Amino acid sequence: MKEITLTLAEYNLAACSNVDITTARLTSKPLLVLLHGWQDNAATFALLWPLLIVDYDVIAFDWPGHGKSDYKSADNYYHFIDYIDDLHQVIIQLKAEKVHIIGHSLGAIVAGCYAATFPEYVDKIVLIEGLSPLVDPPKMTVERLRMGIVSRQRYRQQQLRLKQRSMATFAEALTLRATVNRLPVSLLDAVVKRAIIERDGRWYWRHDPRLRCDSLYRMAQQHAQALLSNIQAPVLSIIGDKGYAAMRQCDGNGSDINNFTQVVVSGGHHCHLQSSNDVYRHIRTFIPTSFD
């Protein structure tokens, strides 16, 4: 996987790919676009890369404010809907008739919303430990708005301290991340390497601290259902047997998705790291190639 840069209208995204996306056309292999989760980065798929690139063209990018990608401008924050715009700007640059999207957590939610909104660009989607946009009942609207604005004010008051927060060694950063995710350090090495930068003997997280600001609003359940019910592409949901319990309630009817299949693998919310071989096997069955 080679490092590349994707140029969007407002900022650049860092990405990894096994193909040259600037050529007139890609290879005959299916094209997979990999979308990581909140405060992760493209390297969350690092254990899948060597398996996937045998059969597929693959591109994985860091969302803005994550990994090696640019931050948003100082007068902007990270609204969920804007990730769908970011993804569209990426996909229309690709030399492919349709793409397959594989998303984890936040990336899975974005994938579903994008497939509903732009079905002409999407062949199939694989959703790992993610499905519906986060929702609130209408009565939470005022409280949600207050929480979001208060969190922004808190960030403004603490931004200098947040930007100066550092660690003495890479091992310290790796251990901290492994503790938060409750995963072995061996599974997170690539993720943490992409998530930190060394300056003057100290290690700093790359991600934008504004990512931790609360949302100003969330969709109502009816809005999320309208999006899910408009997904035309076949959907494969992959969940961990120790992942979020709410995911296991999503069957073909409960999710309002027409063509929906769900499989369970060993692991928690990052089951694609814990059971990468099984996740690959399910992807390979779901997205056949011309050689099958």
* Residue 291: inside a domain: no
Length of the chain as a residue count: 292
Q: Which of 185, 212, 239 is the last residue of a domain?
A: 212
Q: What does the pLDDT read at residue 254?
A: 45
Q: What does the pLDDT read at residue 114?
A: 98
* Residue 292: inside a domain: no
Range of the domain at 154: 139-212
Q: What does the pLDDT read at residue 248?
A: 76
* Residue 64: inside a domain: yes
pLDDT tens, 134-149? 999 999 999 999 999 9
Average pLDDT for 128-139:
95
172 and 101 assigned to the same domain: no
Sheet strands (E) in the chain: 2-7, 12-17, 31-35, 57-61, 99-104, 122-128, 196-199, 202-205, 235-240, 260-265
Q: Which of 169, 196, 212 is the last residue of a domain?
A: 212
* Residue 151: inside a domain: yes
pLDDT tens, 189-242? 999 999 999 999 999 999 999 999 999 999 999 999 999 999 999 999 999 999
